[in-house]
Structure 1
């Protein structure tokens, strides 16, 4: 049974279906951003031993995808940006490098930097404190699989959230190769299962 389950989770077609259960649909109408007062971009990790940059640390690919999409929304809606992400493994915060990428590489100014959080609930609580009492509605940018949990946490802080998910998994056209095991598909299945458990845990903890 364990071998069969391992094989199923390694199939791209199964992994895509599992991820579909946790991913939030894309923002279909950019006009919704007109209701927002700020864009909040959540970090998704750092890349250590980044020998191609002076600091030898930078955002990882997940965070870069979120930053890139947030920059695009900021250009379209002309809204201020808050970046949120701490440094649970040490070094400078994710938010520090997110700000660096946005301002140095993309020419987008960052208004608020929240670098003390260690999880999604912290992201929401500390971001709300920085935004203050005058901002009530935000456009939230994070990965599609993480959005449901993040949106819930920010709404718990009294904010109205317009979900702007990004970094959707790659879904190839149906073909015979979709039924052949892949290590990448196993990773996708693992991510989907972990996020599903995370959503359940946050619901149980009322976060």
Structure 2
């Protein structure tokens, strides 16, 4: 008998379908399919979905959206005096990369690792990397540890390789660090992800000093910021994912 897909597989599929651009493309196709029987409704659905896709693809719209989440200032080193560790949660890997021989860090994870290495050099604090694998293959934490040690020259003290989402990043990191009496930590993640991540890590018992990376720091310019493009769509995707995840947490809170 074929095994049923687990929760995280279903979640991944649902995320692909619900978020832009796939979700809006599907609504456009639905509208087009409805036109023969329901012309006005079909055209309306297709038109609205197309317009929303164009709006979300513009850097101006994505900038306005990300301001909803990007509320943390840059790290203030004065606030790190009580911290005893740096935690870097993963954000995905790229698989089957020929030039690396197999998997390597995805762009978002690499951005976090790079900033975490900078903070480690400044503060001298030890690092915990956190991230497992939803699919078979290399775990995020293993690749993050290798990158930090081999490419950035920063030793990793702890490696948590079982977590599959931000909530588990926090819980499994707590099970490692709190055994050593460590509760004050610097948390490195993207600015738009920090609010949700800080909530999860605080709930796990940590006192968190936020260290956001990729902080919003540029006002939209005319006319390039109003022209739809892949950069705007990608940013809108990240924001929509965070907003959907926060809504999901309120509907189905973790124990």
Contact 1:148 / 1:199 at 8 angstroms: preserved in 2? no
Match for residue 186 of structure 1? 233
Q: 1:70 and 1:3 mapped to 2: Cα distance?
A: 39
User: Equivalences for 1:67-82 in 2 at 5 Å?
Assistant: 67-82=113-128
Structure of greater relative contact order (alpha carbons < 8 Å, 6+ residues apart) = 1
How is 1:84-163 mapped onto 2 (pairs within 5 angstroms)? 84-133=130-179, 134-163=181-210
Residue equivalent to 1:200: 247
Structure 2 residue corresponding to 1:25, chosen from 67, 72, 83: 72
Of the two, which has the highest radius of gyration?
2
Distance of 1:101 and 1:26 partners within structure 2: 27
Gaps of 5+ in 1: none
Kept in 2: contact 1:48–1:57 (CA 8 A): yes
1:6 equivalenced with 2:53 (yes/no): yes
Distance in structure 1 (CA, Å) of the matches to 2:217 and 2:81 = 29
Alignment correspondent of 1:46? 93
**How far 1:199 moved relative to its partner?**
1.6
Higher helix proportion: 2
Question: What's the TM-score once normalised by structure 1's chain length?
Answer: 0.93
Deviation at 1:173, TM superposition (A): 4.9
